[in-house]
Structure 1
Amino acid sequence: MSLFHLRPLGRYLVILLLIALPVAACGGLPGSAPTNFYILQTTSELKTEGTPVQLADGATVGIGPVQIPGYADRPQIVTFGSGSAINVSDFDHWAEPLSDAIKRVLTSNVANLVGAESVFSYPADFRPDKQSLQVAVNVIDITETGTGVARLSVRWHVKALYDNKVLSRHAKIYETPATPGDYNSYAKALSQLLGKFAQDIAASLNGLNLSS
């Protein structure tokens, strides 16, 4: 019996079946791999290095914005290859936008160091006062070098929000071992570097005079 001799409902079901078969076949192609997702983790056991951080009475600290390089601003995890080449992993993604992840981790880590009641994610819905500080972060490089090194190169400045005055500027490169091609190792290494970065942010807040 041909397709045209079937009742309308029968023809409709047969057409749906014919459409579904190629789709099902493509979904089961050998060699297809699931996408893996990774997060950057906060560190709850951070300690200030050297002199404990002393914020001015009533001071609040906003962390952000966080700017990242264009090559890293995508869901896929990007690492460096040889020369000027980069590697973009189709099946290994960040679970959230990378700039949001960095700000989330830094906000939590700095809060653990100077007090959760004093630290928030910036921008926030509030009116700044004379005790409000902002830490703006510019990530220059964030990658695994392909030679077993996770690298985080950053610049940041601390600003008095009330009068829009920059109080200090800083720059640093952080590195730690990471297993090449192991994205779980890479995410863990970056989390460790963000912990060290948070310690330096906290130190940059120490003793700032907001009354002048």
Structure 2
Amino acid sequence: MKRLAVLALAFLLSGCSVSLPFGGQQQQVRYYVLSAPVSAGTELHTPRIGVMPVSMPGYLSRPQLIVREDDGVNIRVLDFDRWGEELGNGVSRVLCNALSAEGLSAVPLRTGTPVDAKLMLDMRRLDGQLGGSVQLDAVWTVQKKKEVIGSGHVVKSAPCGDELSSMVEAQSSLIQELAKEIAQAMK
């Protein structure tokens, strides 16, 4: 009898954990990834730049997408809209592809590939408002044998629509523009 009561209680509790208020259906989780340009590749003799793991602010270091509210201060964490990869890894991937498209051979440093220089990126902001704009604020430094051979601070914005996919596309475009600025400074 006790065993039956325990099973019934477990069944009720598990049923409570999946039921939604007002008879609604469970919401599906959607996943997003940053888009990168397709590069034609670079010559093997081109000096390789190793992109170090990207430093991200704490509020962006989570699987959920973040939308900034109209007041510019408050953020909203979207529980059912998530990154398909860690955002820092996505930024690194897009940056490597975009740098390669600009003629610089770039690889994520975590791959173990020998490199000639290291790119450090401190992403201070990469968020925005739906129906408004997306903001990118990043500081970058390239070092070769512990000597700084290039650095910069980039602040850019891009308009985005009312859909999350347009926000992610704007974020991708801003990272690609960042890569162009880094490539121009390194040439």
What is the TM-score of this pair, normalised by structure 2?
Answer: 0.83
**Alpha-carbon distance change, 146 to 186 in structure 1, aligned in 2, over 3 angstroms:** closer
Q: Find 2:57's aligned residue among 69, 91, 103.
A: 69
Cα distance, 1:99 vs structure 2: 0.6
Aligned length: 181
Provide the residue aligned with 2:37 in structure 1.
Answer: 43
Q: Find 1:177's aligned residue among 139, 159, 178.
A: 159
Provide the residue aligned with 2:117 in structure 1.
Answer: 133
Structure-2 separation of matches of 1:90 and 1:119:
33
Q: Is the 8 A contact 1:145 1:151 kept in 2?
A: no
Q: Which amino acid in 2 is paired with 1:188?
A: E
Identity of aligned residues (%): 24
Provide the residue aligned with 2:14 in structure 1.
Answer: 23
Provide the residue aligned with 2:128 in structure 1.
Answer: 144
Structure-2 separation of matches of 1:70 and 1:33:
26
Q: Is the 8 A contact 1:62 1:120 kept in 2?
A: yes
1:200 aligns with 2:187: no
Cα distance, 1:178 vs structure 2: 1.0
1:80 aligns with 2:68: yes
Structure-2 separation of matches of 1:126 and 1:188:
29
Cα distance, 1:83 vs structure 2: 4.6
Tell me how large the CA RMSD over aligned residues is.
Answer: 2.6
Q: Is the 8 A contact 1:65 1:103 kept in 2?
A: yes
Q: Deviations over 1:29-53 (max 9, x none)?
A: 233422221111112279xxxxxxx
1:122 aligns with 2:109: yes
Q: Find 1:109's aligned residue among 72, 90, 98.
A: 98
> SS in structure 1 opposite 2:80?
strand
Larger radius of gyration: 1
Tell me whether 57-66 or 86-95 shows the greater mean CA deviation: 57-66
List, as ranges, runs of 4+ consecutive aligned residues in structure 1 with deviation greater than 3 Å.
14-18
Q: Which runs of 5+ in 1 are unaligned?
A: 5-10, 47-54, 207-212
Structure-2 separation of matches of 1:148 and 1:45:
30
Q: Which amino acid in 2 is paired with 1:119?
A: A
Cα distance, 1:79 vs structure 2: 1.9
**Alpha-carbon distance change, 120 to 83 in structure 1, aligned in 2, over 3 angstroms:** closer
Structure-1 separation of matches of 2:50 and 2:127:
26
**Alpha-carbon distance change, 185 to 113 in structure 1, aligned in 2, over 3 angstroms:** same
Q: Which amino acid in 1 is paired with 2:164?
A: Y
Structure-1 separation of matches of 2:58 and 2:16:
37
Provide the residue aligned with 1:97 in structure 2.
Answer: 86
Provide the residue aligned with 1:49 in structure 2.
Answer: none
**Alpha-carbon distance change, 96 to 88 in structure 1, aligned in 2, over 3 angstroms:** same
Provide the residue aligned with 1:167 in structure 2.
Answer: 149
What is the TM-score of this pair, normalised by structure 1?
Answer: 0.74
Q: Which amino acid in 1 is paired with 2:157?
A: E
Q: Which runs of 5+ in 2 are unaligned?
A: none
Q: Which amino acid in 1 is paired with 2:34?
A: L
Cα distance, 1:170 vs structure 2: 0.8
